[in-house]
Amino acid sequence: MLSQIDRQIIRSWYTHLVEPRLAPFHSKGPRLTGPRIAVIGNCQAFGLAYAMKLLDPSARVSHFSAIAKTLADIKLLAKTLATYDYVFCHEFLHGHVRGGGSAELCELLDKVIMIPSITFSAFHPDLVYLLDETRGHAPTIGPVGPYHSALAVFAFRRGLSVEEAHALFNRNVFEALGYFDVWNDAVNELVETGKRKFDMDLSSEIANWSRRGVFMYSLVHPRPFVLFDLAKKFFAHAGLPTPAPINGDYYAIDDLGRAEIFPIYPPIGEYFGVQGSYTFKLENYHLSSEVGEFVSLPYYLAECYKVYRRCTQAQLSHPRIEAWLADPAAVGRIITLAGENLRKGLLPA
């Protein structure tokens, strides 16, 4: 089966070689006289490409999704991208494109501009990815896709009941685990990574995003206005002309809003002055035919336990959870709080 990159490679060669020859005979929209821009990367790449097109409507902008495995190899991808004037690229590892990742792409094509992707944990300090090292770091898929609650996994690994796991989702547990103390580290990591690896200072952008409230759907899924600001930043970094002012919100497409959304737990939301909930959104890329599904915390936990019973320990491993389990004091504190909350009937809906 062709991946998105495979299809985009075919489309790119058509627009580069065939379409110009057909242009005198038929018109398929306005003639694009601006630069050819390619954006290759993770789940954030489409939103960036869309924003770049909005910033320069005369540009031809193509999106290459380095997520699914391709039939094309890295050399064909590089040859295709060489036809573009600007190539913006997220880091991606071996395993998606045959023959290499972003590092190999940079060796084959010197015009590649590496760009940061946004990872920010302060709004979702309980969210973890479970990557199985015995299967090439394949993600463990649960009821909300690759998104897992560290507390839920800990509770299952430690032998707690679903009801006891439910009792962990309270302010006193979050306080004990430092869930309210993540902001500064999350900001510093994002700023320092941008400076060190990509020669970009994102501090002013983060300040602006913070003023708008919650700017992430999960650790790695930002809201559209974040990607619009990044597109402007990347344009300036690449030396592209300064675009005319435009309201990105007015034209926004919330592509990542169709994917899974991890809730901001109410005590976390209260701490940041925003509305929180325990409502988990499931992935839905077919909004034209159905509205999607949302699940409650009790349902989510019950479904997690069903999944985890079928998993090996390697599929339920994460450094934070291993650290908790290896610390008798931490285990005792968490279990004690679960018992106290359960006795008090503190089981949030």
Q: Are residues 36 and 158 in the same domain?
A: no
Give the model's confidence band at 31: pLDDT under 50 very low, under 70 low, under 90 confident, else very high.
Answer: confident
Tally the domains of the chain. 2
Lowest-confidence pick of 14-23, 52-61, 206-215, 287-296: 14-23
- pTM (2 d.p.): 0.91
Q: Are residues 248 and 275 in the same domain?
A: no
Tokens encoding 168: 């962990």
Whether 213 maps to a domain, the answer reads: no
Residue 343 confidence (pLDDT): 95
pLDDT for residue 24 is more than 70: no
Question: Rg of the chain's alpha carbons, rounded to an integer?
Answer: 22
pLDDT in tens, 221-259: 999 999 999 999 999 999 999 888 999 999 999 999 999
Q: Are residues 80 and 19 in the same domain?
A: yes
pLDDT in tens, 150-163: 999 999 999 999 99
Q: Are residues 248 and 327 in the same domain?
A: no
Residue 23 confidence (pLDDT): 65
What domain range is 285 assigned to?
127-182+259-343
Q: Are residues 18 and 87 in the same domain?
A: yes
Query: What distances in angstroms separate CA 341 from CA 68, 77, 79, 268, one per listed residue?
Result: 43, 55, 60, 18
Q: Are residues 268 and 301 in the same domain?
A: yes
pLDDT for residue 53 is more than 80: yes
Are 263 and 216 spatial neighbours (Cβ–Cβ below 8 Å)?
Answer: no
Whether 187 maps to a domain, the answer reads: no
Q: Are residues 158 and 277 in the same domain?
A: yes
Residue 190 confidence (pLDDT): 97
Q: Are residues 110 and 166 in the same domain?
A: no
Measured CA to CA, the distance from residue 180 to residue 77 in angstroms comes to 43
Whether 109 maps to a domain, the answer reads: yes
Measured CA to CA, the distance from residue 6 to residue 101 in angstroms comes to 15
pLDDT in tens, 271-295: 999 999 999 999 987 777 888 999 9
Whether 96 maps to a domain, the answer reads: yes
Whether 101 maps to a domain, the answer reads: yes
Mean pLDDT for the chain? 93
